[in-house]
Structure 1
Amino acid sequence: MQVLPVADDQWDVVAWLWQDFRHDLAPAVDGFPYADGRYRHEWLDAYPAPDRHGYLAWRPHPNTGDDAPIGFALVRPGEQREHLLQAFFVVPAARRGGVGLGFAAEVIGRHPGGWEIPFQHLNTAAGPFWRRVADALWGEGWVETTEAVPGRPDVPPDHWIRTV
């Protein structure tokens, strides 16, 4: 796997993967596509920007051997720490075998300092995954909290992993 910053001409690739990401989250966030068939994308619309970073993970396509995107990550300034992992996605066919952990470690390693990693309570795969990442990268140097989702008293609180 190769992890590279998103080039100016690759944001369309991220936009395609974004739809997979939002589709994947749909059961956890009651997500429906809008009238144009796309899921919400205002977070993605804030990229690129000088204080925001995007990364694509690449691996040879199993059928063609050409480089294929297998995931993306978006990093922005955090509210309580220097960095916040705003979005992280690995295509289902590339999951397992440590791909996600390796990708997360590579992205986080490019931005020294404190981190915040939020995830939804109902995203049952996210919790165990991000706790494994936190243990691998920070040992006991992290905490997990829950916080109400602003403006959404009808949903369970989000989980936040933060370095200490």
Structure 2
Amino acid sequence: MTFSVRPVADDQWPVVAWLWQDFRHDLASVVHGFPYADGRYRHEWLDEYPSPDRCGYLAWAPHPNTGEDAPVGFALVRGLDTTSRTMQAFFVVPAARRDGLGRRFARDVIGRHRGPWEIPFQHDNAAATTFWRAVASAAWGEAWTETTEPVPGKPHVPPDHWIRTT
């Protein structure tokens, strides 16, 4: 699938907000998440964007019915003003998965920001484990490590995994 990656424009954050709900729905079974009374999933991370130390990207691909560009994924990066970038959120719509678009999208975003990287993901998210290990190997060869760390304030859940460049 052909696609392009573009920084989120000021007027495109509502597009990310729509995709964010799909992202949180996708994670709901992993994090045991319910929508709140207004029907939306938690979104406090998204509310921190845009910001001088954070940015977002949208992946666009031709819509199969209309041919016009349609958003097929987003990436949120924080830590632009620190020593290490963090992939805070990453999502590709289910219909665009399985052909390598996600890996190419992730590598594109990583390539836009030099320096050390951190990529956290949930222990119970088997697809993310496979995905991020493959992305890390493609992006950095053997120059990365994976650790587990307790989730702050949630001692009852399995620790998160963190991939970090070395």
Taking structure 2 as the reference length, the TM-score comes to: 0.96
For residues 124 and 27 of structure 2, the distance between their equivalents in structure 1, rounded to whole angstroms, comes to 9
Structure 1 unaligned spans of 5+: none
Deviation readout 1:56-87 (Å, 9 max, x if unpaired): 00000000001000000000018x95100000
Pick one of 113, 129, 152 that aligns with 1:111. Answer: 113
Aligned to 1:65: 67
Give the root-mean-square deviation of aligned CA atoms.
1.1
For residues 106 and 134 of structure 1, the distance between their equivalents in structure 2, rounded to whole angstroms, comes to 12
Where does 1:1-164 land on structure 2 (aligned, <5 Å)? 1-77=3-79, 81-164=83-166
**Equivalent position SS for 1:125:** helix
Aligned length: 163
* Identity of matched residues, %: 74
Q: Tell me if the contact between 1:144 and 1:161 (Cα under 8 Å) persists in the aligned partners.
A: yes
Deviation readout 1:126-155 (Å, 9 max, x if unpaired): 000000000001010000000000110110
Structure 2 unaligned spans of 5+: none
For residues 118 and 43 of structure 1, the distance between their equivalents in structure 2, rounded to whole angstroms, comes to 14
Deviation readout 1:75-110 (Å, 9 max, x if unpaired): 0018x9510000000000000111001000000000
For residues 50 and 147 of structure 1, the distance between their equivalents in structure 2, rounded to whole angstroms, comes to 27
User: 2:55 is aligned with what amino acid?
Assistant: H
User: 2:33 is aligned with what amino acid?
Assistant: G
